[in-house]
Amino acid sequence: MWNRPEFEPVFFAPFVSSAMAVEREWVDYNGHLNMAYYNVLFDRAVDEALTLLGLGPHYAVTQRASFFTAETHVRYLQELSPGSPVRGTVQLVDYDEKRLHLYQHLHHASEGWVSATCEQVALHVDLDTRRVVPFPDDVLERVAGMKSVHAALPTPDGLGRSIGLSARS
């Protein structure tokens, strides 16, 4: 399906995932979504965005290439409780011939507030050699198309933010 020349994806700025929900078994003893499961939700949103680019499970099987996460930075801004409906947004901030720089927001789907953000660098990997490899030209064209649409978005608050404790006087 993804290799047909007539296929042209439509990109939204930002990409918005399908609705998801905080599953009860993901809630920890503090009564809110455990930090590990924020990553599950972010990962599901990215998978949907990559599938739009033609880089989902079908690509992994047919092209023997996929994406591995090299780095993430998650900010937890507001608690999510069991059953909370959520949607992830994905913004392609930058890319090169082998990498994607993504920024995501996890929104409460009915109330709209942002629960968490995730900045990520993903690597294009050959699944047989387990090495980072360049995108094929057709993939690079689709990535460029998404980037051109996402370029109109404002710079995400927190992009490039580092972690640490401020110096005390």
Residues 128-158 have pLDDT tens digits of 999 999 999 999 999 999 999 999 999 999 9
**Mean per-residue pLDDT over the chain, rounded:** 92
DSSP line for 62-128? HHSEEEEEEEEEEEE-S---TT-EEEEEEEEEEE-SSEEEEEEEEEETTT--EEEEEEEEEEEEETT
**Domains identified in the chain, total number:** 1
User: Per the domain annotation, does 69 fall within a domain?
Assistant: yes
87 found inside a domain = yes
Rounded to whole angstroms, how far apart are CA atoms 69 and 149?
A: 23
Q: Is residue 157 part of a domain?
A: no
The answer as to whether 26 is a domain residue is yes
pLDDT at 154: 96
Contact 86, 122 (CB under 8 A): no
For residues 165 and 42, the model is more confident at: 42
Identity of residue 61:
V
Task: Return the pLDDT at 10.
Answer: 78
Given a cut of 80, is residue 5 above it in pLDDT? no
Q: What angle do CA 74, 35, 53 make, to 5 degrees?
A: 55
Is 109 inside a domain boundary? yes
When pLDDT is averaged across residues 79-100 and rounded to a whole number, the result is 96
Does position 4 have pLDDT exceeding 60, yes or no? Answer: no
What CATH code is carried by the domain that includes residue 88?
3.10.129.10
Token reading at 125: 């990997």
Sole residue written with tokens 């030209």 = 137
Q: What is the pTM of this model?
A: 0.90
What the block records as the tokens of 28 is 């920890």
Classify residue 165: in a domain, yes or no. no
Tell me: the pLDDT tens digits for 10-34? 788 999 999 999 999 999 999 989 9
What is the pLDDT, as a whole number, of residue 2?
Answer: 46
Q: Which domain holds residue 144?
A: 15-150
Give dist(CA 97, CA 8) in Å, integer: 20
Does the pLDDT at position 109 exceed 90?
A: yes
Q: Would you say the C-alpha torsion 74, 77, 83, 84 has a positive or negative sign?
A: negative
pLDDT class of 168 with cuts at 50, 70, 90: confident
> Is residue 8 over pLDDT 70?
no
